[in-house]
Structure 1
């Protein structure tokens, strides 16, 4: 390791920090925290779906044409690139996810350092790694990780230099962010309104409006290039319906309600309000105004979607941690006698990672491999015992399709829960109209020889009584339980 870097780490003089040192530290922290999860079959089921979509793209099928999921195509492009370059590698997918988290935190540092001290900016970046990697199903690679990197980079570009080429670059990045996670269109729109308002307020109104126009051009250039493959293939309608119309239908689903988002939205709004009221955050700072506008846009998107999963908050962390860090820096300094306690708390924060280190070591001792989880063990059992793989239906652990080099039986089955989201069927070009009809088609027409479920859990959400009643009865009549691997249940068709 470079001796200058070592010296800075041993005796932290924050004013001497440069971006290379900060990036080095962030990569080390991100990889250390996330490393044991490089070997897990999946952390969140959405990631498994993204991998399937990426593999389908590598095989020559544009997203939404063979398989289908409710995300814009840049999400799947990340996985397609990794699979194309490194093959079927959980390690590569997760390693570059860790690098992505480090880069997001680096850009967060870059924005913060223009607003506060290097010391505060550095610790904001460290906690940005923590919050993107811990406290829930965040150790995999989620669409929010990818989209947030593009958005933070875009915001950094326009805080770094204010001229047309940087606004154009920012527009390109904002377009990539929206084409990764559509709800980021809300903060993009809010940013546009802010710059429009600022342009008419400033002395150099013409220049500011020109910068905004260049940002808009960059944004639509990205959208255009994303749509181009579909246009050339004659599938532009699939592109439009899957990316723009389907999410609106999804947000109106029966399990979504704006009221469910109030605890998250209210807490963030309250924190910002307290910071501004007690002048812990300078609302006259342009960078603080930009961050606030972005946070407001993201919160509006949560309300509109009527749902906030834990991984949705990844989008919020970089932008809210900066004002929180600034506010905390203005509080009375921590007394020296409490600093040891604080250091111990910092060491204990990645407890999930420590437990997972123990898990992979234990798995290696028992099974001879660091790779673990039913999504890996179940396909290994199926192959080892010569069970049917071409006609298989994973109601759980659907990363198994990828491991076995197979595809789901129908488009809605790409993500098992999509079978129940019949409001999305028209955008999949699916001939069945209802979820139960789709399930019956899979079970009674396709008739999978092998079916995989999970013990101790209903196949579908417990609220979906019709689905569970049908599948439970059908399994009892037409299938037998062949084996139990971990929590994975492997059923074989009787006839």
Structure 2
């Protein structure tokens, strides 16, 4: 094992080709992410994407039957996989692994235009690690999808000069933004850089042509996503759900940019130090573009006022390249580098090692590698012939997908959306208030089965009114039928 790792840390970089690099990156990504293939969910957002995608596969455009606050290309990624492979956690997680490997490959391609193959290889390797470890990154997040499209577009931007390529670049940028809306910040950043470059080198006409082609490709994607809604008479739903709702949500959930400021200062400080020390070449056009992208993404974080772990996926490919160049120039002799690389390769996937132990333990105890309450609770429900047509998952909502049913209303596709009243005007939901929606579910729909989580309030602890209502209602109208690990299964008394 140690010998294999040692060989990995010192391949013949000069003979590395794209196929070999992709194979290595995929195998590393697969090893790190494979034990999480069997989890019910890693992040609740991933569960929502799957449920939205299944609705699309069933013939309902996103936002028409179910609703969530993400652009449609994210749902399309999952819908295509489900359409081809059926309801398969393995297929979804496998294609997520492929996304990570391809993003790292294009990161390698970008780095290879700026620095040595050796540094480019290690930048790509750590791109795999940082996109796959720590927090909820083992799931398939919208950031994985949007970052892949954007990195592919930037790679073409750095390596292709023919105007015809800029239409494809625009398409990739459009797909990125239609996967996660905040990617419009780095897209605009690139556009501003091009305008500045056009004036600086006095080739504004040529630059403008490239931007027109790029803009046309971008608009082409927007038109394609709007077309199905136009044909079904739901164009307003498309506009409101993709553009108006995120703006309303952003305005209502203000977080001070000061919370993100230390992180922003740290990243920009390291970049500034690299430029000042001349470890990073400030005259390099490629590095200038990457720096503009980093700044634009950081601005989007400041506008949001927070930096969740999965947000960082968008940043990693673009900061790892300049940081990798700096480290490559600062590292001492190879005698120290190789042991350090081996230690990092052994220690970084610690979460993967622990999850391997978890799935083996689950297999020995329950007879299945698949694990988590989102799988075990539906198994219990089916095994005991409980009602599945009228069920409300306040937690583990991937259970809807496992059981083949829909959430009780559009507003609870993602369980937390019920309290986001600023989003109701854009859902085309009959009820416009969160408590009204909750009362409708409990008093009118009257779910036969409710699933909650042990040791956790059903709603965010700040939502005192919601929790007081649901706790009192459960006490009066439901009884606790079973506890499956941390999953609580309530049955209605009537």
TM-score, normalization by structure 2: 0.97
Farther-moved stretch of structure 1 (426-435 vs 22-31): 426-435
Q: Which residue of 2 aligns with 1:271?
A: 270
**SS of 2:452's equivalent?**
strand
Identify the residue that residue 12 of structure 1 maps to in structure 2.
11
Per-residue CA deviation, residues 391-421 of structure 1 (Å, 9 max, x unaligned), is 0000000000000000001111000000111
For the residues of structure 1 that align with 2:476 and 2:279, how far apart are their CA atoms? 66
Corresponding residue number in structure 2 for 1:365 = 364
Q: Distance in 2 between matches of 1:465 and 1:11?
A: 57
d(CA) in 2 for partners of 1:6, 1:340: 10
Residue matched to 1:206: 205
- 2:57 is matched with 58
Distance 1:87 1:275 in 2: 48
Written as runs of structure 1 = structure 2, the 5 A alignment for 1:133-172 is 133-172=132-171
In structure 2, the CA distance between the partners of 1:305 and 1:429, relative to structure 1 (3 Å rule), is: same
Matched residue, 2:491: 492
Task: Report the counterpart of residue 392 of structure 2 in structure 1.
Answer: 393
What 5-or-longer segments of structure 1 have no aligned partner? none
Q: Secondary structure at the match of 2:330?
A: coil
Pair 1:197 & 2:196 matched: yes
Q: How large is the Cα RMSD of the aligned pairs?
A: 1.7
Distance change in 2, residues 1:456/1:152 (3 Å): same
Q: 8 Å contact 2:9–2:341 — kept in the other structure?
A: no
CA positional deviation for 1:430: 1.8
Q: Is the 8 A contact 1:451 1:492 kept in 2?
A: yes
- 47-56 or 308-317, which deviates more: 308-317
- Pairwise CA distance, 1:334: 4.7
2 CA distance for matches of 1:300 and 1:226?
Answer: 27
Q: Are 1:352 and 2:378 an aligned pair?
A: no
Distance 1:410 1:262 in 2: 39
Say how many residue pairs are matched.
Answer: 491
d(CA) in 2 for partners of 1:303, 1:140: 25
1:321 counterpart residue number: 320
SS in 2 for 1:330: helix
Q: Which residue of 2 aligns with 1:478?
A: 477
Distance 1:344 1:6 in 2: 10
Q: CA deviation at 1:432?
A: 2.0
Q: Is the 8 A contact 2:254 2:304 kept in 1?
A: no
Is the deviation greater in 466-475 or in 61-70? Answer: 466-475
Encode CA deviations 1:13-47: one digit per residue, 9 max, x unaligned.
21211111100100100101000000000000000
Give the Cα separation in 2 of the matches to 1:134 and 1:450. 35
The CA distance in 1 between the partners of 2:254 and 2:331, in whole Å, is 45
Which piece of structure 1 moves more, 158-167 or 430-439? 430-439
- The alpha-carbon deviation at position 297 of structure 1 amounts to 1.1
Preserved CA contact (<8 Å) 2:5 2:342: no
Which consecutive residues of structure 2, in runs of 5 or more, have no partner in the other structure? none
1:93–1:282 Cα change, 3 Å = same
Kindly report which structure 2 residues correspond to 1:208-227, keeping only aligned pairs within 5 A, or say none.
Answer: 208-227=207-226
Contact map agreement 1:8 1:17 (CA 8 A) in 2: no
Q: CA deviation at 1:256?
A: 3.2
Residue 409 of structure 1: aligned partner: 408
Q: 1:341/1:286 Cα in 2 relative to 1: closer, same or farther (>3 Å)? A: closer
CA distance in 2, matches of 1:337, 1:82: 44
Q: Answer whether contact 2:416 2:459 (CA < 8 A) is retained.
A: yes
The alpha-carbon distance between structure 1 residues 115 and 341, as it changes in their structure 2 partners (threshold 3 A), is closer
Moved more, 465-474 or 88-97: 465-474
Alpha-carbon separation, structure 2, partners of 1:166 and 1:465:
54
Deviation string, structure 1 residues 435-460 (Cα, Å, up to 9, x no partner): 12211111111111100000011111
Would you say the 8 A contact 1:412–1:418 is kept in 2? yes
The question of 1:290 aligning with 2:289 is answered yes
